[in-house]
Structure 1
Amino acid sequence: MPGPGSEPADLGGSSDNYVTAGEFVDGGEIKIAKLVSTLLGAAWLTVAAGWIMVMQAVVTAHVRVLDAVAAMYVRIIEAAVGGGAETVQASWGAAFRAAVETNRLLAPVILSVEVVLVAALLLYARRRWV
């Protein structure tokens, strides 16, 4: 058992899960592989956290845009018809929630496809009955 003066320095704090400098040294030689693997692991966690943050920012931006568009449609429908605006807002909200549940990153593309399909169906119905 090493004496009190020979223990490696504590680099990670006072918790039970800490890293000591001795884990990267073996008999005076630096363990390059362990040091590099630790650095690569830290870099990977940083990249993954950044990617998650970017995905959340993209989804948040699209939600805000859709909320603004939904509010605009509500005002237009209320001005034109006086009713049914809440139905339109709820239906597009449900469509966006379904797109987000399918894939958060591709939600804008999925919702755009839904909008194009709905517009195509409305145009088809309009041409057929008019």
Structure 2
Amino acid sequence: MKKKILLVEDEPTIQRLLHFILSKDFDVDAAPNGYEAFVYLENRNVPDLIIMDWVMPHMDGKSFLKCLKVSGLYSEIPVIVLSASENIHEELNDLPYAVNQCLRKPFDPLKLKQSIGNIFNTSTYGFIN
């Protein structure tokens, strides 16, 4: 059974790119912002990993991450943040909760896949050397 990944990304082009990169090895669902991601979660969809943008409309990455990490139900879901923000690492360091990985946009698809493999602690997807 494939692991499930939720993409929380407001840019359709990046959503499609991530879906293309990941859908061979994972079940991939997408939400355009943090609010829609919570609607997804509240409908009993619990992914094995969340890959999220930091700057989004309606509920930005900081707000979404805070709600996710303080919740009892979803706080253990691993998170990878993708951001074009130059200060993203400083912003994440100032938070009282951690993410599993942060990659700057434009991101290297191989590094993303390696990060996912490290989180799942497996080489079965063919991208961990």
Structure having the larger proportion of residues in strand: 2
TM normalised by structure 1 equals 0.23
TM normalised by structure 2 equals 0.23
Structure having the larger proportion of residues in helix: 1
- Structure 1 or 2, whichever has the larger Rg, is 1
Ranked by relative contact order (alpha carbons within 8 Å, sequence separation 6 or more), the top structure is: 2
